[in-house]
Amino acid sequence: MSAQRTVLATQVGIVGGGPAGLMLAHLLGRAGIGTVVLEARDKDTIHATHRAGILEAATVEMLAGSGVDGRVLTEGHEHRGTVLRFEGESRRIDFQELVGHSVRLYPQNEVFWDLANARERDGGDIRWSVTDTEVLDLTTDRPAVRFTDAAGERFELRCEFLVGADGSQSICRRAIPDEERTDNFIEYPFAWFGILAEAPPSAPELIYSNSEHGFALVSSRSETVQRMYFQCDPDEDVDDWDDERIWAELQRRVRGPDGLRLQEGPIFDKTVLKFRSYVCEPLRHGSLFLVGDAGHTVPPTGAKGLNLAFCDVRVLAPALVEFFRSGDDSGLAGYSAQALERVWKAQNFSYWVTNLMHTQPGENPFNQKRRRGEFRAVTASEHGAAYFAESYTGWPGDR
């Protein structure tokens, strides 16, 4: 490798070109602040990576209201409620009626696509497919990132602040010395087997279904493509599952006296998603700020991942804008504590719904019956259902 490096400079260097990094770059760009985004993958690979799809109202507002793209409104679908199903008994949680809000189903890879295209449209600097990324001088006021670009050229990017938006395997987070951060995490003894299938929708709203065989989630992507998941072993091999076996498993996880049947069709994508709840504290180290999955991960059950990442950006972007405008760094000083406040609420919700709806391997019958009691207590009470609805659609103060 050549020792020659081209030196670049910008105000905010952003490591990671997923939705969090690009949303931050977009908002800073609108305020006239220079950014360079560095991303290890290429644009098409990220676009083809399927993640969750539920957007809170505040997330929708950030996309449609800040000039990214209105596609979330024209192609996304409003969901005014969701169905929680336990041992074949469905209870609908009416978000609109209970808390006056709804969510939109719009896949995260489309959120990414809209943001990447908006950055290109607005002349934003994004370097895709970078390698050998390393961050340095984090506790100085001139932090840097060294990287090799897609053409093999070496660079050093000097900036005033660095943002780690590089996902759960974040190299930025790992650059924080162990004694300067606390890693809070738990693992779960199960994962999700996710599929995409060519089939018509099975239901007008999402169904989160618990059964004695384990959990299943019925979601959708369009009139012709459906997204579904079922609880599986973390070491499950997707190649052991053909279409027939997958459909039989999904059907038995939603079966009930109401005769619910899923509409079947050819499956064209299969993945196992591991579960983890993780929070790094604090979310700042010197001139480095962590946003999104780089700082915290949630299991997908509560659909909070992307929404939490956007919440971080909603706190960090104005703090950076204020600093560059007036030199006032109080917003930056408060970033970690303010973002973590919301992160821990969402951690609790994601953990709670995950444990309510999943069957632990080898579960004690006491616990299955206790969870049935919990399900009834939550869904049969207006206050219980409103708690779920408020947590799912986003807490007051976040909108």
Task: Point out the residues that are catalytic.
Answer: 79, 208, 300, 304, 392
Q: In DSSP terms, which residues pair with 6 in a beta bridge?
A: 155
Instruction: Please state the closest distance from residue 314 (CB atom) to ligand PHB, in A.
Output: 21
Instruction: Please state the closest distance from residue 70 (CB atom) to ligand PHB, in A.
Output: 21
Size of the site for ligand PHB (CB under 6 A): 10
Task: List the strands of the sheet with 161-164, edge to edge.
Answer: 125-127, 35-38, 12-15, 161-164, 288-290, 284-285
Per-residue interface string for the shown chain with ligand PHB, residues 180-219, x marking contact by CB under 6 A: --------------------------x----------x-x
Sole window of 40-48, 170-178, 270-278, 299-307 interacting with ligand PHB (rule: CB under 6 A):
299-307
Sole window of 134-142, 173-181, 295-303, 314-322 interacting with ligand PHB (rule: CB under 6 A):
295-303
Sole window of 20-28, 50-58, 164-172, 341-349 interacting with ligand PHB (rule: CB under 6 A):
50-58
Whose Cβ is closer to ligand PHB: residue 165's or residue 303's?
A: 303
Whose Cβ is closer to ligand PHB: residue 109's or residue 117's?
A: 109
Say whether residue 54 binds ligand PHB (CB under 6 A).
yes
Residues 6+ apart with CB under 8 A from 348: none
Q: In DSSP terms, which residues pair with 273 in a beta bridge?
A: 192
Instruction: Please state the closest distance from residue 379 (CB atom) to ligand PHB, in A.
Output: 17
Say whether residue 52 binds ligand PHB (CB under 6 A).
yes
Sign for the CA dihedral angle at 253, 259, 260, 266 comes to positive
Instruction: Please state the closest distance from residue 315 (CB atom) to ligand PHB, in A.
Output: 23
8 is written with which tokens? Answer: 């670049």
49 is written with which tokens? Answer: 């990576």
For residue 152, how many C-alpha atoms fall within 13 Å in the half-sphere facing its CB? 2
Task: List the strands of the sheet with 207-210, edge to edge.
Answer: 89-94, 81-86, 207-210, 216-220, 225-232, 182-198, 267-281, 296-297
Count CB neighbours of 341 within 10 A: 12
> Which of 148, 209, 287, 301 is in the footprint of ligand PHB by CB under 6 A?
301
User: In angstroms, rounded to a whole number, what is the distance separating the alpha carbons of residues 275 and 399?
Assistant: 28
Instruction: Please state the closest distance from residue 52 (CB atom) to ligand PHB, in A.
Output: 4
* Residues within the interface to ligand PHB (CB under 6 A): 52-54, 206, 217, 219, 227, 300-301, 303
